Amino acid sequence: MFHGGSPCCASDHTTIKKTIGDNVKTIVHTLALAALGIGAGAVQARDLPAAMIATATAPLQHAVISATYNGDAAGMLALDHDFASGLGTNSTRLDPTSTGVEFLTADFLFGVDVSAAGALTVIANSAIPAGAYSMRFDFGASLGAPIASFTYVGADGASGVPVLSLVNDHTIALDLGALQWSEFGAFTAQVGTASPVPEPAGAAMIVLGLTAIGAMGRLRRWRRQPRRT
């Protein structure tokens, strides 16, 4: 776990828990899919391609992330490599159990949790000395859509605002130098991906639904017209 007063070590990474408060650690996303209400001809969420729904609700679901800390790949230890140091051990997939962090910095000052829903949370593992701290996360070609936004959500036990950068469509960066930390303090930012273009079948269903709505509207107007005798 994150032990008060002393940083954790690689050997007990499996017990690292997310314990920083629901207001920071729980990011609730609602996907609003409008059904076109025309009876049997309505376009429902089930008619949309599964890839579109999955990308909207869990944009980082299949992410493979390579990270650096203060510009150094050796400065970040990753879950897939049991938080061991070595060549290439700064890359990982998401924690499949969603109970631990994906990265620890090599100085054990910070843990980094990334969720499939796009929340990236940096956690202070101990008292953080004043200084310059930066991180970079590269998702490569593992995402279903390019990264379109990287925005600050909020903090618990950390004051100040980090500098967030969208480096390119698969890389984000953090500058933590302006933050003051309490022990086990944390902040969360949200990674957003671009909306995928509908597949032809899904687009065709939407067009058919809109066409049917227009036809129903014309039929209602025609019925309201006075009939000639």
Is residue 192 located within the same domain as residue 202? no
Is residue 98 located within the same domain as residue 208? no
Answer whether 0.75 is exceeded by the pTM.
no
In a domain, 36, yes or no: no
Burial of 214 by CB count in 10 Å (0-12 exposed, 13-18 middle, 19+ buried)? exposed
Tens-place pLDDT, residues 117-144: 999 999 999 889 999 999 999 999 999 9
Check if the beta carbon of residue 68 is closer than 8 Å to that of residue 223. no
Count of domains for the chain: 2
Check if the beta carbon of residue 56 is closer than 8 Å to that of residue 210. no
In a domain, 3, yes or no: no
Is residue 157 located within the same domain as residue 60? yes
Domain range for 188 is: 10-31+45-196
In a domain, 1, yes or no: no
Is residue 104 located within the same domain as residue 117? yes
Tens-place pLDDT, residues 74-97: 999 999 999 999 999 999 999 988
Is residue 94 located within the same domain as residue 190? yes
In a domain, 38, yes or no: no
Is residue 204 located within the same domain as residue 189? no
